[in-house]
Amino acid sequence: MDAYEFINFHLVPGLLLGSIYAIGAIGVTLVFGILRFAHLAHGDLITLGAFLALGAVTLGGLDPWLALPVAMALAAAVAVGIDASCYAYLRERPRILTVMASLGVALMVRSVVQMGWGTDPTTYTTGILRPDEYFGFILLRDRELATFAAVIVLVAALEAFLRLTRWGRAMRAMSDNPDLARLCGVDNRQVVRLTWIIVGMLCAAAGFLLGINTEVWAMMGWWVLLPVFAAAILGGVGRIDGAVLGGLVIGLAEELSVLVLPAQYKSATAFVILLLVLLFRPRGILKGKVL
């Protein structure tokens, strides 16, 4: 295999998938860091985000990329609503019960999607898109370029928010030391609501980006749940930079795994990496919390 093949059929797809995983992993790591539980409904929230965008395209006649902000806003509202109805009352009880509730939420969200849109895969647009050639040897489709751009913008915006704004600092403070944050006068409930707004937006983005690069179907989110969690844990739970790093590594690993494993076992790669991380370095590469 030469460099051309390696770059265009393994490296680029790996980075593309990895950057989408990164967006999902950031959401997971935010919930881990601030709400302190494994959000098992994350995958299905990603699915919902993809379908909300689809709805905006089919019902509203919007261009897919314009449907994205609409989907993000709707998903943010849904996430806040789910928390208020399904997780809020469990906050004083052992965390594992919230994990259990999130598994139930996953099933409910998926069922709603299946009832609303059925189970057949679909896409945002029709037709085959030919890739363009860049620098003489890299093949990229417009939508792939746009995906990379979107991921960079999202991550940069989030980092700016967390570092430069008052509420962003409050979120980091709550993740770091919730008791001390409360002593500083941070209102826990507002931070939680803000977290779910951001998580909802990230899930919609991940779902849309995944859908526009592959296809949109009811199980798409559940299938990426494992890689997204593996990415968050690999990078270091509670760290945004960890989630990005972990996402890219997992994405690359999956695309490269076809060189050694049969293609259908791509998703097994994430699982193996997860087990190895839990075995040898549970805090992850960048040393997050172990919860």
Q: Please report, as ranges, the residues that interact with other proteins according to CB under 8 A.
A: 37-38, 40, 85-86, 89-90, 93, 95-97, 99-101, 103-108, 110-112, 114-115, 118, 166, 169-170, 172-173, 175-177, 179-187, 222, 225-226, 229, 233, 262, 264-265, 267-268, 270-271, 274-275, 278-279, 282, 290-291
Query: What separation in angstroms does the CA of 272 have from each of 150, 156, 177, 250, 253?
Result: 29, 30, 32, 11, 11
Q: Helix, strand or coil for residue 289? A: strand
Minimum distance, C-beta of residue 164 to other proteins, in the bound complex (Å):
11
Nearer to other proteins, 135 or 280 (CB): 280
Nearest to 54 by CA among 106, 105, 101, 113: 113
Q: Name which of 31 and 74 has its Cβ closer to other proteins.
A: 31
SS3 5: helix
DSSP string, 195-209: HHHHHHHHHHHHHHH
- Write down the least CB distance from residue 196 to other proteins, Å: 17
C-alpha dihedral, 122 to 126 to 127 to 129, nearest 10°: -80
Least Å from the CB of residue 82 to other proteins: 10
- Find the shortest distance in angstroms from Cβ 133 to other proteins: 35
Instruction: Give the separation between CA 285 and CA 245, rounded to whole angstroms.
Output: 9
Nearer to other proteins, 58 or 85 (CB): 85
> Measured from the CB of residue 253, what is the shortest distance to other proteins in angstroms?
14
Of 60 and 104, the one with the shorter C-beta distance to other proteins is 104
Of 12 and 181, the one with the shorter C-beta distance to other proteins is 181
CA pair distance 195, 80, nearest whole angstrom? 9
Residue with tokens 């895969």, as numbered in its chain: 121
